[in-house]
Amino acid sequence: MQVGFPQSVRALSRDNSQRWLWRLGIGLVLLTLWGGWFVYAQLWVYVTSRQARVEVFRQVHPVEAQVDGQVVASRLELGAEVQMGDVLIELDADLQRLELEERQARVAASEAELRAFERLVEAEKRVIGQMDEAAQAALEEAAARVEEAEAAAKFGASRAKRLASLRHKGHLSELEVLEAETEAKQKQASAQAERLAYQRQVADHKARKGDRLSHIAEVQQDVVRLEGEIRVVQASIRRLERDIARRRVSAPVAGKIGEVSTLPVGAVVSAGQQIAAVVPPGELKVVGQFTASEAVGRLKPGQKARVRLDAFPWTQYGSISGRVARVASEPREGLVRVEVVLDEASSRRIPYEHGLNGSVDVAVEQATPFTLMLRAVGKAAGRAPTALGETTPAGGAGIDSGDRQ
């Protein structure tokens, strides 16, 4: 026997209708809210680089060998603090040192010979001065004798003339006059001899002085030659000293050794071979390598950035905020270098240091989800394959550059 419940059935029908209306209303509200968010909400658009690295602001200095050689001493220690000029590697320089000692000895001998020549020149000059003084006295004495002889000759000639006058008057005999004339001629001859002796002394003095001056000139030529040889050898000494100094590989700056090569004593290095890298102290930055297609024209100094380090999972440590400091103007191998300055407050919880790797995201603009969807559709359409296996621009068939123009 069936029993009917018409009122209950009608009540259940009304309840089902109301639930369906409520559900439809809630769905419409949610759809409206989602549509509004989809069209009007502003979302940050990030450009990401997976090739990011923490570096110091000052450039890391590589340490390279400047010449070929064999390692005779090594003070390389990873993480060691060094000062500018500290010797890290010494290469064998025995041959250069022996050659340096030989040339230094040659310079010392040449300088001693040069000093001897200089003393000889000074001695010759003193001798010439003494010769001048002695010659001056001798010439003055000879000049006095010449003057005395000439006076005697003049007196003898005058006396002979007077006696000849008296002979004409008959006061003297002819013999006395002849004796006076003979004596006058003798005195003239003596005066002439004194004059010749004076001239000979002058010539002798000039000849001796000329010999001394010629000797001084020869010695001075030797001095000039020695000075030239000394300068040449000294230049070679400076070259050897520089060569020896290049065999001592030193730290170019103060800092910490961040990278070393295994170079035991006896190992051979080549010129230009990097043996270490010195990390100078200073603030840290993050350097990211972005693809040129995403970075050029979009990345600019001042934009916000966030950094995630591989060694510190962001799910546990979070990310480090920062801002773009510099953007390279020219790509290298398709990548653009971007430097990010870290926010000190947000990076205190992570002990970051030079060499840490990670990723960096840079906020380049704000866009709505609708705009981002259109971009995605455009990119997908732009990559759509054609019959020839090529890609076409968004929205149409493949046309060549002439048709587009």
pLDDT per residue over 277-318, tens digit each?
Answer: 888 876 778 889 998 888 888 888 988 998 888 888 877 877
Task: Give the containing element (helix H, strand E) for 288.
Answer: strand 284-291
Helix (H) or strand (E) holding 18: helix 6-40
Alpha carbon 248 to its chain centroid, in Å, reads: 17
Please give the pLDDT value at position 398.
Answer: 36
Mean pLDDT of the chain: 79
pLDDT, residue 6, reads: 62
- The whole-number pLDDT of residue 193 equals 81
Token pair of 13, please? Answer: 């029908």
- Which residue stretches of the chain have pLDDT < 70? 1-19, 57-58, 163, 166-167, 169-174, 176-177, 282, 345-349, 382-405
pLDDT at 37: 77
pLDDT score of 137: 81
pTM beyond cutoff 0.75: no
Which residue shows structure tokens 């995630």?
308
CB contact at 8 A, 171 and 136 = no
pLDDT of residue 53: 86
Q: How far apart are CA 251 and CA 25, in angstroms?
A: 76
Give the model's pLDDT for residue 106: 92
Q: What is the pLDDT of residue 1?
A: 42
pLDDT of residue 399: 32
Number of C-beta neighbours around residue 358 at 10 A: 22
